[in-house]
Amino acid sequence: MIEIIPAIDIIDGKCVRLSQGDYQSKIVYNENPLEVAKEFESYGICRLHIVDLDGAKSKHIVNYRILEQIASRTSLVIDFGGGIKSDEDLVIAFENGAQMVTIGSVAAQKPSLFLSWLEKFGHEKMILGADVKDGMISINGWLEESGQELLPFLTSYIKKGVTKVLCTDINRDGMLQGPATELYQNILKFLPSVYLIASGGIKSIEDIRELKQAGIPAVVLGKALYEGHITLKELNEFMESADENSTEESC
């Protein structure tokens, strides 16, 4: 079974998508992210990835009220990222309903702070964000390069207790060109114990099948859903079929 995690990216309180992290490429898909989340839930979705793009750019949480609305009015398990730079931001995220947070820039720039959060809140609540372009980690809403290579970055943190990694191939994100399956397989080859969440490039249900067959534990998808390349009905049928062939419980 592969875990399906739709993404809701937020700018100005609206559900949007970017291409390759470019804010100038913004397309608004829905004025009401709660409406989108409820529709996901109605089709059997259990998990949600929320990205505060305003927060990523501003370097502090901005859209926490949207998080609170979705968390309080659905039963979705939410991980939240974007703009989490301080203890205060982290507390705001958890107090407004995030069960997990995705941390990328802080992990790259302030490792001691990230490790303190890992120890304080537990590895089950912390997802290491690895936004990668041409093998290098990008930070701050993909606006800057960190100068760190992907595998050494991941390895150092997994040795220190990280168990979940969300890896986004920036070159493919929002481009509907298919996932970087080889990249994810390579990560699992060197780090087989990690719960790897693949992100970027999903264009069809066949892409999700490909990742599942490659042994990738989870996948985030966005534009393919919003533009109808994958329908929620199709996704629901895929999940139900996978459940029939799995001993794992859904939701």
Annotated catalytic sites, by residue? 9, 131
Residue 19 φ then ψ, to 5°: -115, 125
Tokens of 25: 């490429």
CB atoms within 10 A of CB 2: 21
Q: What are phi and psi of 70, to 5 degrees?
A: -70, -40
Phi, psi of 93 (to 5 degrees): -60, -50
CB 229 within 8 A of CB 176: yes
User: What is the separation of C-alpha 248 from the centre of its chain, rounded to a whole number of angstroms?
Assistant: 22
Distance, C-alpha 156 to centroid of its chain:
21
Q: How many whole angstroms separate alpha carbon 220 and alpha carbon 13? A: 21
